[in-house]
Structure 1
Amino acid sequence: MDATGLSRRKLLGVGASALTVSFAGCMGGGGDGDDDIPENTVIVGPDNRFVFEPDSLTVSPGTEVTWEWESDTHNIVVQSQPDGASWEGTEGGETNTFNTGYVYSYTFETPGTYEYDCAPHRQQGMVGEIIVEE
């Protein structure tokens, strides 16, 4: 035992606990930049990256989801949706794009998975999904 009355083993245990708590914030939830995104909002092209953030969002039926453009030349093209759903994505199809500041919203009613992408950046992996669960 050292002069403080702590054994080496106890001191290592305290250090390991502190390390676990320190890493807990890195494991998801907080600290990943999503804290500033309003609930049920998807950021389109943040930091000029070809991504939707978050790329997957789970909501209840009747929830309005909003997409906010933070960079240029993006759209939302629906690739698949549940039977009975009628989501069309942004107007104009694959060739019409929108720029920074554009806001698009849609209320999802039919349960299931909705997959979408940005047509100009599909090859770069700019894809997303909305999961509607009861």
Structure 2
Amino acid sequence: MHRRVYLAAVGTAVSAGLAGCSSAISTGGDGPCAGEDCHIGMNRTEFLPDVYEISVGDTVVWKNTSEADHTVTAYDDRIPDEASFFATGGFEDQESARHAWQGQRGGRLGPRETFEHTFDVPGTYEYFCIPHERAEMFGEIIVSE
């Protein structure tokens, strides 16, 4: 009898601990960022949340909430045609951002640093972290009218 009570309590604790671990579209309040300080945080190999939904004209603030260096780099071919490319370091395209990172860690977003970008064109924007791309550190911004 005591074993069942124990297992039920452990099961409940594990379920509660895992709640919210799945990816979901966020419009704020999830992960290490909530409010004006930042909208999207980062751990060692993830953007938190990895999908974020906003409206045209909104500004998104990423904050490196981990101890590792990161980048926020748009994929050239995965943003709307009329949209501006964005990357930490202010690079004009994905190739320049990659080259700068490989040479001098250009575009580095150090711990507790922030980066922001305003989205003026509706559509889906996919981005990544250059040093953690192999670990599948990807994110997506969905911009609606």
TM-score (norm 1): 0.69
Q: Look up the SS of the partner of 1:85 in the other structure.
A: coil
Name the residue aligned to 2:70: 74
The answer to whether the 8 Å contact 2:72/2:127 transfers is yes
Q: Aligned runs of 1:36-75 on 2, under 5 Å?
A: 37-39=33-35, 41-45=39-43, 49-71=44-66, 72-75=68-71
Which amino acid in structure 2 is aligned with residue 37 of structure 1? C
Q: Which structure shows the bigger proportion of residues in strand conformation?
A: 1
* Mapped pair 1:104 → 2:130: no
**Code of the aligned partner of 2:126:** E
From the superposition, tell whether residues 35 and 103 of structure 1 become closer, same or farther in structure 2 (CA, over 3 Å): closer
Aligned to 1:83: 81
Aligned partner of 1:121 in structure 2 is: 132
Give yes or no for contact 2:31–2:48 (8 Å, CA) kept in 1. no
| Separation of aligned partners in 2, 1:87 and 1:35 | 25
Question: Cα distance, 1:37 vs. partner?
Answer: 2.3
Q: In 2, are the aligned partners of 1:70 and 1:99 still within 8 Å (CA)?
A: no
Deviation at residue 38 of structure 1 after TM alignment: 1.7
- Distance in 2 (CA, whole Å) between partners of 1:35 and 1:121 is 19
TM-score by length of 2: 0.64
RMSD: 2.7
Deviations 1:70-127 (A, max 9, x none): 2221001111210110132111513022210111111101000000000110010100
Higher alpha-carbon Rg? 1
Q: Percent identity?
A: 34
Q: SS of the residue aligned with 1:99?
A: coil
The separation in 1 between residues aligned to 2:138 and 2:32, in whole angstroms, is: 21
Correspondence list, 1:14-29, <5 A: 26=19
Partner amino acid for 1:124?
Answer: A
Q: Is the 8 A contact 2:73 2:86 kept in 1?
A: yes
The gaps in structure 2 that reach 5 residues or longer are 1-11, 92-96
Number of residue pairs aligned between Structure 1 and Structure 2? 107
